[in-house]
Amino acid sequence: MDMGLKGAKALITGATKGIGRAIAETLAAEGADVGICARNTGDVEAMVAALKATGVTAAGKAVDVADGPALKAWVNEMADALGGIDIVVANVSALAIGQDDESWSKEFSTDMMGTVRLVDAAMPYLEKSKHAAIVTIASVSGREIDFAAGPYGTFKAAIIHYTQGLAYQLAAKGIRANTVSPGNTYFEGGVWNTIKDGNPDLYKAALALNPTGRMGTPQEMANAVVFLASPVASFISGTNLVVDGALTRGVQF
């Protein structure tokens, strides 16, 4: 299926590893031009080179999304480099599950405000786009209580609410907004890889919860994100797409 993304201009935060990397690669494979950020300069440079090798325009910069002015500057720089913005994907998470003040602060500034500020900075460009789409990355931890209950789950739930509000508020402008809520996703160097090595009991318990007998892959999450970002999903807005292999059992109306 042609997803209608050739020549689209897409920004993805946290795009050098895991789900974010897979999203950037999949968008590029569909012909979209891509702007990325992450905190490590070397990782960003290597990813930009890999994206350019596919034949698309790509740009990137090391940015901490919790730094509001730096995030806004990155958005404007990427818009200049790509020639506009059609898609924004808010992917970065602090992954803070502690109950201390620092964990709450990290989740708020990185997950919540990193998402809000990204959307706000991109809005002038999205308003000019014919196929504008916002996709935010939440989590199954945002819709049920699990081991990540606390700051991580709380702010992922807030992101779902925020995004559905955007969908309603921006519909008249032709800007769509959707959320993808991944289930447990395994990749080398990722959080579940770390848990598997450092806390095997927790890893086994988490794995046993999924009736598929496995965790998801970054590519499976990216497929959902890219679909929602594409013109193929032109009448889908305000949805929270759960991609978890039947891990969660609550009925989502």
Q: Which residues are annotated as catalytic? A: 152
Report d(CA 229, CA 159) in Å as an integer: 17
Going by the DSSP 8-state scheme, the letter that residue 17 receives in this structure is S
| Percentages of the chain per state (helix, strand, coil), in multiples of 5 | 50, 15, 35
Report d(CA 177, CA 164) in Å as an integer: 7
Report d(CA 44, CA 157) in Å as an integer: 29
User: CA angle 54-59-65, nearest 5°?
Assistant: 125
Report d(CA 225, CA 241) in Å as an integer: 9
Residue 171: CB partners within 8 Å, gap ≥ 6? 237
